[in-house]
Amino acid sequence: MAKAKRRSANVLGRILGLLLLIFVLAGIGVLWLDILGLLDARTMAMPLLKAVGFTSTDRQINAEDPLLLDRERLMKREDALALYKEDLSLQDVDLKKQSEELLQKQNSLAEREKAQDDRENSFNQIQKQADDRKANLVQNSKYLNAMPPAKAVPILLQLEDQDLIDLLRVTEEEAKAQGTDSIVSAWIGLMPAERAATLQRKMARKPAD
């Protein structure tokens, strides 16, 4: 039984040895044919190398290639160009970001300018209305001033208290500006006592009250 096992082991060893010898001789043959230029051993072996997970990125360099230097320069230029393109891409991203930020600032500034214009327009309209009202009061004051007080007072009594007060104040201002006596006291003296007291009380307040 032991002899049979040893005989089987010897046979298996011989088979493995012969197979190894065949592979070695085959490798030597392929290498020799590659040296002679009859075949490309690297190309033939590449599928097997890839199958076992070996990949090579090394380039075969032929020192006798007359275009070797030109190819090296071209490769360096291509690498430099790739880096330049990448840098341009990053700069483009930065420029787009800056452009968006600038656009946002411009929009914000435009909104603030529009709001300021709206406020100025509103103020100008209010100022114009006030100026127009003041001009009307001055004109009415001159018209009433030219009338006898007894005829002017019934017209004044038809006005609302605030409108009447504004007219009386304008009349006093015009008289003061011209250096003449104001007729306001004569008008108030001809008004009913209750209305006159109300007007005098309100006129004693500040205009903003």
The pLDDT tens digits for 146-178 are 889 999 999 999 989 899 999 999 998 988 988
Domain-embedded: residue 99: no
Q: How far apart are CA 107 and CA 125, in angstroms?
A: 27
CB 187 within 8 A of CB 152: yes
Q: How far apart are the first and last CA of the chain?
A: 131
4-8, 106-110, 184-188: range with lowest mean pLDDT: 4-8
- What is the distance, to the nearest Å, from the Cα of residue 179 to the centroid of all Cα atoms in its chain? 63
Question: What tokens appear for 39 in the block?
Answer: 């075949």
pLDDT at 141: 87
- Provide CB contacts within 8 A for 40, sequence distance 6+: 34
Q: How confident is the model at residue 204, as a pLDDT? A: 84
- Whole-number pLDDT of residue 41: 59
pLDDT of residue 38: 65
Choose the final residue of a domain: 36, 61, 82: 82
The answer to whether residue 93 scores a pLDDT higher than 70 is yes
186 in Cβ contact with 144 (< 8 Å): no
**Any domain includes 126:** no
Ranking 7-11, 58-62, 116-120 by mean pLDDT, the lowest is 58-62
pLDDT digits (tens, 9 = 90+) for 23-47: 788 777 767 666 766 666 566 666 6
The residue segments making up the domain with residue 154 are 147-209
96 domain residue, yes or no = no
Residue 142 has pLDDT above 80, yes or no: yes
Q: What is the mean pLDDT of residues 100-124?
A: 89
pLDDT of residue 182: 86
Give the DSSP H or E segment for 153.
Answer: helix 149-157
User: CA–CA separation, 209 vs 203, rounded Å?
Assistant: 10
| Count of residues in the chain | 209
Q: What pLDDT, on the 0 to 100 scale, is given for residue 154?
A: 93
Tokens of 118: 């709206």
CA 155, distance to chain mean position in Å, is: 63
Domain finish residue from 82, 99, 122: 82
Give 57's pLDDT tier (boundaries 50, 70, 90).
very low
Q: What's the CA gap between 84 and 82, in Å, rounded?
A: 5
Q: Is the separation of the CB atoms in 74 and 82 below 8 Å?
A: no
Query: In whole numbers, what is the pLDDT of the chain averaged over residues?
Result: 80
What was the pLDDT predicted at 181?
87
Amino acid, single-letter form, for residue 107: N
Q: What percent of the chain has pLDDT over 70?
A: 76
Q: Indicate whether 50 belongs to any domain.
A: yes
Quick check: 165 and 199 in contact, CB under 8 A?
yes
Q: Please give the C-alpha separations between residue 204 and each of 84, 189, 192, 195, in angstroms, as whole numbers.
A: 82, 16, 18, 14
Residue after which a domain boundary falls, among 82, 107, 136: 82
Residue 202: count of CB within 10 angstroms of its CB: 14
User: What total of structural domains would you count in the chain?
Assistant: 2
Which residues, in sequence order, are CB contacts of 61 under 8 Å at separation 6+?
A: 68
In a domain, 16, yes or no: yes
- Is 136 domain-assigned? no
Residue 194 is predicted with a pLDDT of 92
Q: Is residue 208 part of a domain?
A: yes
Residue 163 lies in a domain: yes
